[in-house]
């Protein structure tokens, strides 16, 4: 049974989307591994800026091994899959000056309608 062009395109688009999401996720994990460290006592993943582990309050030397950090991150994401979506969300880019100026001028000259009660 042959697929229609639309069905084939939809499958291709879905595969491209999944591949791009996977690539973005890998890039996000590499960035996260660069800014995280593992506690050698409890294995919790901590931010590089933390002086002590937020779980067990360890304040000695942390494990900075990328493999160990990634394993800890995998464990964390398995326990809390909502973090995957949080890692993937990017803030919306701020509109350019021209767009903001156009919207401002549009608001100035927009016709106002008075509501009558």
Note whether residue 112 is domain-resident: no
Regarding pTM above 0.85, the answer is no
> Residue 29, Cβ neighbours under 10 Å: how many?
19
Q: What pLDDT sits at residue 77?
A: 81
Element (H, E) at 27: helix 5-34
CA 73-77-80 angle, to 5 degrees, is 135
Q: Could you read off the pLDDT of 12-46 as tens digits, one per residue?
A: 555 565 566 666 667 666 766 778 899 999 989 99
Residue 110 lies in a domain: no
Position 66 scores a pLDDT of 84
Tell me how many domains the chain contains: 1
Angle between helices 66-79 and 5-34 (to 10 degrees): 120
Domain presence at residue 106:
no
36 phi, psi to nearest 5 deg: -125, 165
């Amino acid at each position: 049974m042959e697929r229609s062009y639309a069905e084939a395109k939809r499958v291709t688009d879905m595969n491209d989307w999944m591949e791009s999401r996977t690539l973005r996720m890998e890039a996000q994990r590499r960035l996260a591994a660069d800014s995280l460290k593992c506690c050698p006592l409890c294995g919790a993943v901590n931010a590089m800026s933390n002086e002590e582990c937020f779980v067990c309050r360890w304040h000695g030397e942390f494990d900075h091994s990328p493999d160990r950090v990634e394993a800890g991150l995998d464990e964390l994401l398995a326990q809390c899959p909502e973090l995957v979506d949080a890692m993937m969300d990017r803030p919306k880019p701020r509109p350019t000056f021209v767009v903001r100026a156009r919207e401002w001028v549009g608001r100035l000259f927009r016709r106002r309608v008075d509501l009558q009660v």
